[in-house]
Amino acid sequence: MKPIAITLAAVFLPLAAQAAEPDSSRFQLERSGDHFVRLDRQTGAMSLCEEKDGSLVCRMAADERAAYEGELDRLSERVTALENKSIVNKALPSDAEIDRSINMMERWMRSFMGIVKEFQDEEGSNALPQKT
């Protein structure tokens, strides 16, 4: 069992390390005056970047920012609508509804227990005599 585990670890460990590494070819930086333009090759999104205190700080382009904020607003409205709908559906039942439910369960239990009692009576009358 131990050799199998070692073999599996040897096979899957390099794959896990490769998955953890970011894709270096995903982004492309182009200099534009004193700024940089960063292109995401997977999504096509562009960001404007500038160097501050030795690190590159990027922000979305204005048109993408507007689309991003519009999508956030749309999703926020949807979440609010869903939350309001779920609050209405979670209203507690009235006392009359609770009493009605309890009465139905009580009738069902009495009926069920009557059937069980009938089976027990039949079983007692059909018992085979002991021969030992």
pLDDT in tens, 31-52: 888 888 888 888 777 788 888 8
Length of the chain counted residue by residue: 132
**pLDDT value, residue 60:** 74
CB neighbour burial string for 12-34, b if at least 16 within 10 angstroms, e if fewer: eeeeeeeeeeeeeeebeeeeeee
**Which range among 2-11, 21-30, 89-98, 108-117 has the greatest average pLDDT?**
108-117
DSSP at 91: P
Q: What is the mean pLDDT of the chain?
A: 78
Structure tokens at 36: 């940089």
**How would residue 4 be classed by pLDDT, with cut points 50, 70 and 90?**
low
**How would residue 8 be classed by pLDDT, with cut points 50, 70 and 90?**
very low
